[in-house]
Structure 1
Amino acid sequence: MIVYMDGKLHRGIIILLVLCLAPLFTGCGKSKTREHQSLDQYIIMEAEKKYQSPDWKIRLEAIQDIIGISNYGTLSMADKQTESLLLDATRDIHGAVKIEALKGLARYHSDRVLNRLLEMSLDERDGNVRWFTLLTLGQHRSPRAVPAFLQNIKSEDWLIREASIKGILLLRDETLQRDLEPQIIKALNDPSISVKITTLKYLSIKSPGIYEALSSIIKAKTPPPYSLMRSALVAIKGYSLDSATREKIITLLTHSNTTIRILALRVLKEEQNIPVLEEKTDR
């Protein structure tokens, strides 16, 4: 038996077996890949036919079929075809179909996708579709989207304002955030709690103006919801506290919510000597 053979002979036989069997396994892998690609092409062809239907529900199913395709490589023919079909679907007359197409486009980052998203972020009249457009645009994390976000941050729809400030802050560009500090502070004072929380979650800069906004949330006469208070306490860590804010945070040490008590304690422990009321300087 092989196990009792000389070590060199044993290794030689194993190497020979590997060399002989390798093409079989490789061929099997390539065959499977070809099968999947053929299946993708079939699904695309069927989806193209379904998308010609006058029934929006069937067109929606067609887009869902396309999104469900397993693609192989970002430059594969399937990717290019599905991207084109999804882009076409963003011009559908039914909002639900557009939204489904936008969900699918979140994984595509080509220039033509970005250009279409920028166009929709400014021209789309359906509020829900515009909201999904901004969310998808935010995932691209492109500086080119900043003007579109700034335009939409003025919307009366809080969902659109939230998606816009999130898109700006997702860029993680501290210089940009400092340039847009007035818009960020405005978002921290937004009537919508969700807009405030989202801003706090993605904020990455500190400034006297932002500190004042955080302090106002914490010291509000009407206690904010726990979720907003938690976010404000997390964001205010690292600032040098003024006496009124410190006193308010001290009272939170006996708050009924355990998380609030813990966060308040952490803020007090981690307080650093960072100027709070320094004058802004022109850059």
Structure 2
Amino acid sequence: MPETDLALLLEAGQKAGEIASSYFGRDPRIWNKDDNAGPVTEADLAVNAHLAAVLQAARPDYGWLSEESEDAKARLTTRRQFVIDPIDGTRAFIERSRDWAISLAIVEDGVPLVGVVIMPERGKTYAALRGQGATLNGSRLSVTGQADLAAATVLTNKITMQPDFWKGGVTPPIKRTFRSSLAYRLCLVAEARFDAMMTLRPTWEWDIAAGALIVAEAGGTVTDRQARPLRLNNQMPQVNGVIAAGPVHRAIASALI
């Protein structure tokens, strides 16, 4: 059994990636979740079963929060929790895009302690340990130095660009692009491929727990849409949107309503 939490997540995540890839591009069975919560595939469930078995056996005193497990709220009584998205970007997975991720985090007292995001079909493993920096396939990561909002490249969806979200009713002239997986968007900011990512919608903790730590350990700033620090392991496991960026974070947060 791996001795450290980071080694545990890396080992479990790599096997999870192998399981997910065994279904990828092979038309796995798909169901629609209740309340229009989106699709889930047999691959999501197989990965979740593997992670739940391995991680909970290794750390039985840690709480458990996963997109594909019933939230029994027992996690609220624990100091540390696994926060897991077995496949982040399920729609991309179904559409045979490679832009889906396995997102694994350990949260301590509301703050991510360890984060791993694995992109099996892209051969990427992002990892971070609080206070120890962030890496991609073992190489250190650092966010961009871009501070000018007008020159920033931002990963976000189209709805974010509506004038109603911006002061004065004017959308800044930022360069927008998109990826399906929130975890991957965060990691691309940490990798300095983009200057920022943001989502203004209520955001599930399992989508962002690992990636938020990876951005922070790459020197970035990660907050909710109102520039407040993220606090995780909430009763309702959501945060009020996410802004993750290098120096341009201040300009984005100041421009939003």
Range into which the TM-score falls when normalised by the shorter chain: under 0.3
Greater relative CO (CA pairs within 8 A, separation 6+) = 2
Comparing both structures, which one devotes a greater share of its residues to strand? 2
Calculate the TM-score normalised by the size of structure 1. 0.24
Structure with a larger share of its residues in helix? 1
Query: How high is the TM-score relative to the length of structure 2?
Result: 0.25
